[in-house]
Amino acid sequence: MGGAVELDSYSVLVTHIAKNSPIKVAEEIKGQVRGSDITFRWGGEEFLVFLPHTRVHYAKQIAENLRVHLFTHDINKFIRVTVSIGVAGTSPEEEDINILIKQSDQALYLAKAKGRNKVVIWEEDSE
């Protein structure tokens, strides 16, 4: 398919799932985000969620709601699911998907370093 696509503004969440069924968790993530959001598995226990036309602080609230939902929802009868989530945002002038993913991944690892089961927004001074 050919075409031109312009993304006005979007945010991304990278979610790390600790010791659980990634497919079941993926279904829960999809059920918690908006129909316009794009969710996919990024690797073993990581997922990306793109939130088109969403300000980063609203994306953080969506991420926090997702974190709480996964912890309180009965996904696994033996353990509670905890997630570390990194949030990063961009503007139309700075669209670079690779940088956005890198920044959200850095925020994810900062969330893990701060004790896990947290949501952290990437900021320039967190590099």
Active-site residue list: 45
The size of the chain, in residues, is: 127
Element (H, E) at 100: helix 97-113
Please give the structure tokens belonging to residue 97. Answer: 């998907």
Report CA-CA distances (Å) from 103 to 1, 19, 72: 29, 24, 28
Chain center to CA of 56: 11
Identify which of 52, 38, 120 has the alpha carbon closest to the alpha carbon of residue 92. 52
